[in-house]
Structure 1
């Protein structure tokens, strides 16, 4: 059984409106599909991890009539989960179908990036993987990054944080900064660290970005 890692280049005209917004708005950084249930006769149900300005992302959801409803759950000032129900386009259905042929499995996340590409991993037999690449619709192009024997899911990645960033995360956990709803503030973290709130916020943002990037991009 093989594991295929590829980058799919999508014509702008075929992009999902939210993905197109990601390529044009510096306030949005990353949109990663974590889970999805594709419905044949109704809206699809999808769960995303999003990095960037939350209001800009909500505005992108509101700006397309493909989205039936959604719920956004904040994680940090610059990251959130988004539960979305939406109608797939013909292109989306065709692209999805190419990588969900019998004998294939898409391994989440599927990462939509600001350069207009989508990055994904597919597991299956070599012949089925080749058929998938040949079945990509004309409005897209799949570039193969890596093909190897599948050895199971990757181990949990290590996160390279500075000592100060680890202190900031520990303080944030202690004051309830990551509780839902949030119990502690950046100011409370700053008091624990004996620094300015802006400095504490910067430590947390850098630590959170490192942790999320390591999780989402683990290969």
Structure 2
């Protein structure tokens, strides 16, 4: 079994009209998409994790013509449920997963410029076919391909985009080497956060990893 990780980026806005509204919103920043499903009636439901003013984002989305229903919860960080009428591009993207024998690994990581970092799982020929089917309205950048290791990938996928960013910087800087080659301050300078926030993120990551090992 193989995987490919690609970044799908629209030429402008977002990957659907509601996503474009979130990209343009000053109230929130997109983090990840936990779930996205194409329903039998051709509409799409999505569950976003966002950072910022969730209530204000919900109000903005209610003014979007493509939104059938929206609800949100959380302060500072939270979730938004969206039920939307897709445009042609978003419908084509969803049909790629339905029409090819690939699995979409969630959560999907939101990137700057309205894109998504997506990992699909299948055999090489099917993955290539799925990538080739991406519509002209978006660009595709291949970030990685290889053998799929579900346990490690599943655990990594439970981390937020910010936690992954901090963890990757910590590993690159040598924070986990013996002797330790980096401090919270070094990592903070790399990712643009305070040292205290870096420490909090790393404690959450370490807690999640250790908990997964103990409960096996």
- Residue of 80, 83, 97 corresponding to 2:81: 83
Q: Structure 1 residues 30 and 4, CA, compared in 2 at 3 Å: closer, same or farther?
A: same
* Cα RMSD after superposing both structures: 3.2
* Equivalent in the alignment of 1:32: 32
* Equivalent in the alignment of 1:123: 121
Q: Structure 1 residues 31 and 68, CA, compared in 2 at 3 Å: closer, same or farther?
A: farther
Matched residue count:
171
* Equivalent in the alignment of 1:58: 58
- 1:184-212 CA distances to partner (integer Å, 9 max, x unpaired)? xxxxxxxxxxxxxxxxxxx7898479859
* Equivalent in the alignment of 2:43: 43
Segments of structure 1 that go 5 or more residues without pairing to the other structure are 162-202
Q: Normalized against structure 1, the TM-score is what?
A: 0.66
Q: Structure 1 residues 11 and 122, CA, compared in 2 at 3 Å: closer, same or farther?
A: same
Q: Normalized against structure 2, the TM-score is what?
A: 0.66
Give the helix-richer structure, 1 or 2. 2
* Equivalent in the alignment of 2:190: none
Q: Is the 8 A contact 2:105 2:118 kept in 1?
A: yes
Q: Where in structure 2 are the equivalents of 1:1-219 lying within 5 Å?
A: 1-12=1-12, 15-74=15-74, 77-154=75-152, 156=155, 207=200, 211=204
Segments of structure 2 that go 5 or more residues without pairing to the other structure are 168-195, 209-216
What SS does the aligned partner of 1:88 have? coil
CA distance in 2, matches of 1:81, 1:13: 21
